[in-house]
Chain A
Amino acid sequence: MRIAIFAAAGACVLLAGCGGPQTSQANNAQANISNESRDSNTAAPSNAMVMLAAAPSKDQALKIMHERHEAMEGLGKAMKTLHRELDSSKPDISVIRAQTSTMTSVAAKIPSWFPIGTGPDVGKTRAKAEIWKQQDLFARKTKDYASAAQAIDAAAKSGDVNKVMALHENVDKACKGCHDPFRAPEH
């Protein structure tokens, strides 16, 4: 009997675990969409326009997908280097600057990297189809990242390591804020 109770409790925990995230993600998405519709006027028009532009040919699409993949991987490396540098006892501002500069240059290109027709139906990519289903939300998330990257880059250029440290978390949040809903798992 005890085993049955325990098994039932375990099953409930597992089920709760399985159902939980999807439900809450769905709720979040819902909330985000409704937020978005409220202030859709403020969403970056450039992003939306790029998305609505004519779909590229398959070759063009694959080229864009390859370019963005490489750049995102480079951005990951920059983030890791920045993390290590800020964690070290004597952070080197020139190393920090090089990373924040990569962060802003990638941010500037993101809006042109996700035209319609560069999703998982076209080629190997971790970009989820949701990007094109929730374009306004995606545009806002990329804009969040661009602002965070610009702010930390400005702090790095001014040589203020403490400010860079303070702004680091914002960048992390912006990365995660877009990856969680719009990037598929690694494998």
Chain B
Amino acid sequence: MKQPIWDLPVRLVHWLLAGLIAFSWWSVHNHHTDWHIWSGCAILTLLIFRLLWGFFGSSTARFSTFVRGPKQIEGYFRGQWRGIGHTPLGALSVIALFGALAVQVGLGLISEDEDGLYTGPLYRLVSTDTSDTARDVHELWFNVILGLIALHVAAIVFYRVRGRHLTKAMITGRGVVDPGSEPMRPGKLWVALICLAIGVGVTRWIIAGAPPFGS
């Protein structure tokens, strides 16, 4: 019997992030730096939304239900974990991916391109040298993100070989759950809308140049 595991906001954030990361890579390699910057701003909005949804969203979206310490991770390896949503080990992957993306967006915000044609919305908060360094690190940091994505996909393939279809659940939101697991408690639509409004609002504020709107 299939049960709800992932709510719509979690799934939307997941697939939009996947798409926007690919688009960000493609656009910057094909002379569309302006699109790349907008894509980064969209990712920023999603990250803010997901952070808030991790506190106020459905039970499987909340950090408090899946972020676990070393003991539980060890227990998971010994087959002692039962539940729905992210496993204690998967939680590490979630935190690493979101953390790496947050670093990447932060670097992008203060970067400027090598020709002085395009700038991240917060470039004025730092010097030209810092902007240049941020751009170089931004480029290198993408390899960290790629590595984490490779690990993420490898884990899915590993589970697939062992008979668990994780991708399908991230699309439909439903999957087979261990008997006796506590069912997912859905979040509220109005809470999701407030989280989204805050995400969009903070992003617009940053696009405007942050504190006192630039200079």
Contact = CB atoms under 8 A, between A and B. Distances in A.
Interface of A: 2-3, 6, 14, 17, 21, 76-84, 87-89, 172, 175-176, 179-180, 185-187
A63 B131 CA distance: 30
Interface in B161-184: 165, 167-168, 171-172
B116 A83 contact: yes
Given A84-B124, A87-B214, A185-B29, A3 B168 contact: yes
Of A79, A80, A187, the most chain B CB neighbours within 10 A belong to A80
A81 B168 CA distance: 51
Given A3-B168, A84-B124, A84-B128, A76 B114 contact: yes
Nearest to A83: B116
Residues of A contacting B: mostly? helix
Contacts of B167: 3, 6
- Interface size class of chain B, counting residues whose CB lies under 8 Å from the partner chain: 20 to 34
Nearest to B131: A80
B81 interface: no
A14 B114 CA distance: 27
Contacts of A17: 22, 26
B112 interface: yes
A175 B116 CA distance: 10
B171 A176 contact: no
A89 B209 CA distance: 13
A82 B30 contact: no
A2 B168 CA distance: 8
Given A2-B172, A79-B117, A80-B112, A14 B215 contact: no
Nearest to B19: A13
A83 B30 contact: no
A79 B215 contact: no
Given A21-B30, A84-B124, A88-B215, A79 B115 contact: yes
B188 interface: no
A172 B34 CA distance: 12
Contacts of A179: 115
A2 B22 CA distance: 21
Given A80-B128, A84-B124, A176-B31, A186 B114 contact: yes
Nearest to B117: A172
Contacts of A88: 124, 215
Given A76-B115, A81-B128, A87-B215, 15 more contacts: A2-B168, A2-B172, A6-B171, A17-B22, A17-B26, A79-B116, A80-B112, A80-B116, A80-B131, A84-B128, A87-B124, A88-B215, A176-B31, A176-B117, A185-B29
Contacts of A2: 168, 171-172
A116 B38 CA distance: 39
B45 interface: no
A78 to B, nearest CB: 8
B119 interface: yes
Nearest to A186: B114
B115 A175 contact: yes
Closest 9 CB pairs of A and B: A79-B116, A80-B116, A21-B30, A180-B31, A89-B215, A83-B116, A172-B117, A17-B26, A80-B128
A77 B128 contact: yes
